[in-house]
Each structure stands twice: as C-alpha cells, then as structure tokens.
C-alpha cells in the first residue's frame, strides 16, 4: 500500500459526525423510542388536564371566585405538566442504561454531553406538544386567555427555560438513581411538592411569610408568574416576588432566574451523566 | 493497533480490577483475553472503549490515546458488549442506521453486512422479537457497519445455547479475513479462545499471568501429564510427591485431583514411582496438556467453576 493510499484509508476510517448531525441522530432516536412508549406521552398529561377541566371549575364554583380563577389555575397546571413530563422522560435514561443501548452510545465518537442534549430536544418538543394540548383543552372549555404580542414570548421563554431546568434535574436524578422504582418514588418530592408552594393555585403571598420566601427561590414560582404575565396579562405574581413597580423589570429578573436554573441544572446533568456513565 | 501499557483500574472503594497490564495487538490479529468472571477482562474492554476511565497507565487504539483522544479512539473502534446493548423497541435496521450515522459511515453496508451475518430477513422487525442468537448477530452486524479498525467483543457467546454458540463462532471466525480488522475478544470458554485467537492473554485477579499463542501455552506444560485422583486431601498428596521429587512447581491440585506434568519423564516410570509412595490413589490417567491445565496451574481454579 502506498503512503497516499494508507493515509486515505486512515482518513476514511477516522470519520466522526458533526455536532449537529450527531444531535439530530440522537434526538431522532429518543423520539422514536418515546413514540413507542405512549406512557411517556399520555400519563403526564392526565393530571394537568384533570386540573384544568375539572378541579379548577369546581374550585371556582365552591369558592365563588371570578371566572379568571380558571385561567389562573390553567396556567398553574402548566407548572405541574412540565415537571411531570420531564421526569417521566427521565425514566428513559434509566431504561437506556439498564436494558437499552446506552453503552453503544457511550462508545460512539460523539461528545457525551450530546446524549443529554439529544434527550433534551425531545423533552422540549413533547412538552411543547403537551402544553399546546393542555391550553387547547382549556380554550375548548371556554377558559379565557388574553395574550398580547410580547406576552406570548414571555410565556414561551418561561416554558422553554422551565422545561430545560426540569429536564436537567430529571437527567441528574436518573443518572444517580440505579433503579426505576427508586426514581419514581422520588418524583413526588422533587417534581410535585414545589408545585404546591409556587403559586400554582393561589398567590404566594397567601402563604405564611416563611413559605413565601421559600417560593421566591423556586424556579417554578418565577416561571408561573412569567407565564401568567404573558398569557393573562396578570403581573401580580411578578410583583409578589420582586415588589418592584416595573413589570418589565420584574419579568426580566424572573426570566434571568429561570434561565440561571436552566443553565446550572443542565450543566450539572451533563456532568453527572458523563461521570456516572464512565466511572 | 492496540497498545496497552501499565493499564490499571481501581474502582471507587479500592477494588483493584485491573493491575498494570501490558500487551500489544497487531493489525489484523485476533487477540483473546481469557479468564473467569472478575478477572478484569470486561474492565479492560471498558477502558479500551472509553466507557471506563483508567486509573493509570496508557492504552492506544490505532495510535490514539483512549484517555487523551477518546473521540478519535472511538471513531476507529466498535464494540459488542457482554450484555445486550440494543434499542429493543426499534427495528434491527433502525439500530444499524443509528450506528452508521453516529460513526458517520454510509448506510450502504447495512444490507450486505446483515446478509453476511444471516439476519437480512429480520432487519425490519422490532429487536424485541429476536432470539438471543439473532440479537447477538445484530449487535455484531451493527459493530461492523462502520468498518472499524478495531472490534471489541466482550464475552460474545455468553448465555447462548450450544448450537447458537457454535453458529456464532463460525461467524466470528469469518471475521478473520475482513481486511485489517483487529479483534480483541474476552471469553471464559477455552475452546472458543483456542479456535479463534492468534494469541491469548490469561488474566487472573486483574493481572495478565500468561500471554502467548494457544500452542505455545499448551506446550509450556510439556508433552504429557499424569492425572491422579486421590481419596482425601489432595494438597497433602501433592506435598508428598514434591518431597520425593516426583512433582515440580508446575503440578497443581483441584479438589481431589492432582495434575502432574511429566517434564520429559516416561509415563509408565512416573506412575510406578508414584505407586511406591502408597498414596490413597483411586484413579490414574495420562493425557496431553490442554489450555485448561494452563489456566488451572496459573489461577488455581477451573474456568467453568469460576465463571
């Protein structure tokens, strides 16, 4: 073999996919696996839809509040849907590790962080689909939203960043927990408990002062306040957190908080996954 | 193609799984790591596939350091792992396509590789409908579609029934002629190692205790040996043989069976000398050494029992 032929052979065999191509492949794989697991798509949707369509109207009747309470709770249920959905998708990481192709992916010539990001892309897509479904059900049930131009952007930014943050937490948990049963047992504490404190069903100022302060440190509180600001033009949640006159300033600060959580939790997720996957 | 120097792995908690092993594998060579479970074979494969971090030492694949250039090292290699590592709900074809894309290889080899491994008809079925042997073939096909320079096979026939195992051994033997493909396989089956491998490294407690061709390893115990079955303590009987110069350091005991290499002495004369000692012998036989004997001498345990 000549030197040129030898080099050509070497080049041919040391090929690696580009980052975008690898991310696309990994995301499509995760999507294909998720599509074959209806549980991951439907189960997280059940409780929030029940909240939006049954419990919120029932609360309105029982408490004799104004019609806007249904809208208030409908947005609140998005705050339940996102953690539930992302944590259910996190189960896929454990399945991959226990009886799937995770080792094959770890032996592939792609950066391991892309494995987490590929899953995140699918988590964003499915969560978006589910939020759309939830809001669609709510609108069909004549629950009123009053989105304004930039408001939709606030809503989308908050929903996306909250999903990133929650999926980061889910991946981290899945990388550290050895078995599915143990992972599922932790979901109520991590994914659901904060929902009761984050102003989902009532303003955070309705709680004792200590819990109000706890709520201010939860990304979900900031995300819900942003979503209500965006879709209901209701800035009371933002004012309750920041006590500022500037609504836009408060919204910017809350968005920064959710973005910070998203960034930090995803970085932790990638780090923990890489470390746990290659002891 | 594979260069390993002082490679060591200590797991958290202090378990020393691999202890400063050295070996090289030439391009196109089939190299076997032989040993029981816990010997360090899979840990070695894990480090070479970069799914485990070496504690110290170096390993290179096609010149790429697995610790410092992991992406390059992974790009020239593929692996078939001991356990099933496959997306079961996807079709076989989808699994092969995913591998081809992640290794940036064309999908044009999928059908020919699947045909070569006898799974062409199964490709469009979900993998969870495959039998164990079919799934293993799929995993081997998957590893080959990226045209790797190094293929790692970790216990490729473990858990398969004898017929499927032998079919798979034929498939693996067929990989020999596949260009410059270098194969490193681990196994605890001696016949498998002997049938497939150009050279074998026997691992025991994380160390390589012997490394040579199967033929050379066998001849290290001479041309013939005596096997004695004794009633009672085999170690005491061996000690007596050694006291009288009838057994050397290469003799060993497993349970109540003593294996004594003859080291050039005649079998009849050796047996006559042993009889004089009046040991509680219940059976005597002579035979040619096997790889099993080498392993037993080096590790003190029968492979099948250890596995």
| pLDDT band at A6; cut points 50, 70, 90 | very low
The pLDDT value given to residue B115? 87
> How far is Cα A153 from Cα A131, in angstroms, rounded to an integer?
15
C-beta of residue A71 within 8 angstroms of C-beta of residue A129: no
CA nearest neighbour of B105 among A199, A232, A230, A21: A21
Residue B8 Cα, gap to closest chain A Cα (Å): 13
Counting beta carbons within 10 angstroms of the beta carbon of residue B263, is it exposed (0 to 12), middle (13 to 18) or buried (19 or more)?
middle
Average pLDDT of span A215-227: 95
Continuous segment of H or E residues that includes residue A213: helix A209-216
From residue A12, alpha-carbon distances to B11, B30, B36, B147 in Å are 36, 23, 37, 10
Judging contacts by C-beta atoms under 8 Å, the chain A residues touching residue B101 are 17, 21-22, 25
Does the beta-carbon distance from A107 to B101 stay under 8 Å? no
Percent of chain A with pLDDT over 90: 41
Continuous segment of H or E residues that includes residue B70: helix B70-75
Q: What is the pTM of this model?
A: 0.82
Counting beta carbons within 10 angstroms of the beta carbon of residue A18, is it exposed (0 to 12), middle (13 to 18) or buried (19 or more)?
exposed
Q: Pick the residue with more confidence: B26 or B289?
A: B26
C-beta of residue B103 within 8 angstroms of C-beta of residue B75: yes
Q: Judge whether A61 is closer than 8 Å to chain B, CB to CB.
A: no
C-beta of residue A198 within 8 angstroms of C-beta of residue A224: yes
The pLDDT value given to residue B284? 84
The pLDDT value given to residue B302? 45
CA nearest neighbour of B96 among B125, B133, B132: B125
C-beta of residue A221 within 8 angstroms of C-beta of residue A199: yes
Average pLDDT of span B12-28: 91
A234, two tokens: 């209701």
Which residues of B26-162 form beta strands (DSSP E)?
A: 30-34, 56-61, 64-65, 77-80, 150-154
Q: Judge whether B148 is closer than 8 Å to chain A, CB to CB.
A: yes
Does the beta-carbon distance from B89 to A37 stay under 8 Å? yes
Query: Which stretch, A118-132, A193-207, B188-202, B291-305, has highest mean pLDDT?
Result: A118-132
CA nearest neighbour of A174 among A84, A63, A233, A88: A88
Query: Which stretch, A161-170, A195-204, B174-183, B223-232, has highest mean pLDDT?
Result: A161-170
> How far is Cα B261 from Cα B287, in angstroms, rounded to an integer?
10
- CB proximity list for A252: less than 8 A, separation 6 or greater: none
Q: Judge whether A149 is closer than 8 Å to chain B, CB to CB.
A: no
C-beta of residue B73 within 8 angstroms of C-beta of residue B65: yes
**ipTM score of the complex?**
0.80
**Interface size, chain A vs chain B, as Cβ–Cβ contacts under 8 Å:** 101
Is residue A269 pLDDT above 50, yes or no?
yes
Judging contacts by C-beta atoms under 8 Å, the chain B residues touching residue A13 are 62, 75-76, 147-149
Q: Judge whether B52 is closer than 8 Å to chain A, CB to CB.
A: yes
Option in A22, A100, A108 nearest B87 (CB): A100
End-to-end CA distance of chain A: 40
Continuous segment of H or E residues that includes residue B203: strand B199-204
Q: Where are the alpha helices (DSSP H) in A52-192?
A: 56-63, 68-99, 102-106, 113-140, 149-176, 180-187
A34, two tokens: 């998720």
> How far is Cα B254 from Cα A181, in angstroms, rounded to an integer?
44
* SS3 at position A135: helix
Q: Judge whether B13 is closer than 8 Å to chain A, CB to CB.
A: no
| Long-range CB contacts (within 8 A, 24+) of A255-259 | A255/A154, A255/A157, A255/A158, A255/A161, A255/A222, A255/A226, A257/A219, A257/A222, A258/A158, A258/A161, A258/A162, A258/A165, A258/A219, A258/A222, A258/A223, A258/A226, A259/A161
C-beta of residue A226 within 8 angstroms of C-beta of residue A75: no
Is residue A153 pLDDT above 90, yes or no?
yes
pLDDT tens per residue across span A46-69: 777 776 677 767 766 766 555 578
């Amino acid at each position: 073999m000549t030197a040129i032929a030898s080099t050509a052979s070497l080049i041919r065999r040391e090929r690696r996919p580009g980052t975008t191509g690898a991310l696309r492949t990994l995301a499509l794989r995760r999507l294909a696996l998720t599509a074959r697991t209806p549980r991951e798509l439907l189960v997280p949707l059940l409780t929030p839809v029940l909240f939006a369509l049954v419990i919120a109207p029932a609360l309105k009747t029982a408490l004799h509040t104004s019609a806007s309470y249904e809208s208030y709770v409908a947005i609140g249920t998005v705050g339940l849907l996102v953690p539930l959905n992302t944590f259910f998708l996190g189960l896929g990481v454990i399945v991959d590790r226990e009886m799937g192709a995770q080792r094959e992916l770890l032996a592939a010539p792609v950066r391991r962080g892309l494995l987490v990001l590929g899953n995140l892309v699918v988590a964003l897509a499915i969560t978006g689909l589910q939020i759309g479904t939830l809001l669609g059900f709510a609108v069909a049930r004549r629950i009123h939203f009053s989105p304004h131009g930039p408001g939709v952007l606030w809503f989308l930014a908050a929903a996306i960043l909250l999903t990133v943050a929650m999926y980061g937490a889910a991946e981290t948990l899945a990388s550290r927990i050895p078995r599915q049963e143990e992972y599922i047992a932790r979901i109520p504490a991590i994914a659901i408990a904060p929902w009761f404190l984050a102003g989902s069903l009532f303003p955070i100022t309705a709680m004792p002062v200590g819990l109000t302060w706890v709520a201010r440190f939860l990304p979900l509180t900031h995300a819900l306040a942003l979503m209500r600001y965006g879709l209901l033009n209701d800035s009371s949640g933002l004012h309750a957190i920041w006590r500022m006159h500037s609504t836009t300033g408060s919204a910017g600060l809350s968005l920064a908080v959710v973005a910070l959580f998203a960034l930090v939790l995803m970085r932790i997720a990638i780090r923990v996954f890489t470390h746990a996957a290659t002891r | 193609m594979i260069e390993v120097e002082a490679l060591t792995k200590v797991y958290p908690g202090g378990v020393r799984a691999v202890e400063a092993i050295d070996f090289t594998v030439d391009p196109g060579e089939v190299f076997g790591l032989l040993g029981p479970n816990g010997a360090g074979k899979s840990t070695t494969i894990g480090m070479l596939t970069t799914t485990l971090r070496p504690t110290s030492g170096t390993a290179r694949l096609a010149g790429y350091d697995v610790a410092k250039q992991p992406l390059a090292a992974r790009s020239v290699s593929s692996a078939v792992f001991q356990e099933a590592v496959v997306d079961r709900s996807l079709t076989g074809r989808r699994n092969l396509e995913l591998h081809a894309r992640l290794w940036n290889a064309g999908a044009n080899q999928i059908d020919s590789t699947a045909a070569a491994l006898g799974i062409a008809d199964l490709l469009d079925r979900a993998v969870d409908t495959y039998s164990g042997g079919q799934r293993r073939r799929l995993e081997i096909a998957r590893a080959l579609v990226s045209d790797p320079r190094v293929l790692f096979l970790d216990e490729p026939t473990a858990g398969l029934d004898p017929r499927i195992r032998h079919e798979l051994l034929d498939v693996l033997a067929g990989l020999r002629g596949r260009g410059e493909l270098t194969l490193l396989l681990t196994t605890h089956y001696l016949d498998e190692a002997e049938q497939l491998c150009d050279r074998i490294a026997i691992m025991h407690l994380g160390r390589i205790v012997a490394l040579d061709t199967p033929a050379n390893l066998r001849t290290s115990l001479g041309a013939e040996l005596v096997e004695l079955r004794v009633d009672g303590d085999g170690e005491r009987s061996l000690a007596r043989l050694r006291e009288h110069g009838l057994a050397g350091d290469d003799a060993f005991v497993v349970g109540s069976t003593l294996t004594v290499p003859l080291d050039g002495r005649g079998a009849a004369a050796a047996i006559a000398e042993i009889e004089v000692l009046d040991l509680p012998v219940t059976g005597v036989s002579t035979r040619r050494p096997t790889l099993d004997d080498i392993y037993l001498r080096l590790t003190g345990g029968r492979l099948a029992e250890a596995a």
